[in-house]
Amino acid sequence: MNLPNKLTISRMIITPIFLFVLMFGRIPHSFLFAAIIFAIAAITDAVDGKLARKNNQITVVGKLLDPVADKMLTTSAYLGFLALGYCDVWSIMLILAREFVVTSIRLVASAQGVVIPANIWGKIKTASQMVVIIVVMLMGELRYCADRYGFMSFPIETMQLISHILVWITVVLTVISGITYIVAAKKRIDFSK
């Protein structure tokens, strides 16, 4: 197994650890630790693709596992936020619906020997999700510190409102990227087969 694929698998292994730390609020600074773990996992996503292209180590396994690892990581963060009240079920449903539709189209395309590359909207969607997830966790850390050390007031309602707005921004970008992917797929895939 090459290094890019090992990095992808490490991201899959890191994901449940990240979610445990995020959800286990009794750990002091759990949001900060979760943000650090998430950032490390996100960095492996950037590095594994660059290494695979640079060293000509692109494999079928890597092509299949990389998007799965990405979805595991971001979905676990959103599910954690949902459980903590930092986003709503409709935002998660729309994000997951887009991922299921795009994954299904990728499977159809693969069966027909067609590759539909990610477009700029897919890259914007991914970047926005990663940034928003980290920002929400850092806000959680700020709120924890405000409560614990009393240096400022940061009510939970304020954090929930800000995080809902940020997540809905990513939802809009996610839906746009899904629509552009479907439009590109309709031009290249025979859906009658």
Sign of CA dihedral 12, 13, 17, 20: positive
Residue 173 lies in a domain: yes
Asked if the structure places residue 153 within a domain, the reply is: yes
Residue 193 forms part of a structural domain: no
What is the CATH classification number for the domain harbouring 124? 1.20.120.1760
pLDDT, tens only, 18-54: 999 999 877 889 999 999 999 999 998 888 888 878 8
Lowest-pLDDT choice from 57-71, 138-152, 172-186:
57-71
Closest CA to 181 of 104, 68, 86: 104
Span 76-93, pLDDT tens digits? 999 999 999 999 999 999
Compute the distance between CA of residue 162 and CA of residue 157 in angstroms, rounded to an integer: 9
> Which pLDDT belongs to residue 15?
96
Structure tokens of 88? Answer: 């709503």
How many domains are contained in the chain?
A: 1
Cα distances (Å, whole numbers) of residue 53 to 46, 62, 69, 127: 11, 11, 18, 20
Residue 170 located in a structural domain: yes
User: How does pLDDT run across 127-165, given as a tens digit for each residue?
Assistant: 999 999 999 999 999 988 888 888 777 788 999 999 999
Which structural domain range is residue 11 located in?
A: 3-188
| C-alpha torsion sign, points 40, 46, 50, 56 | positive
Mean pLDDT calculated for residue range 100-114:
86
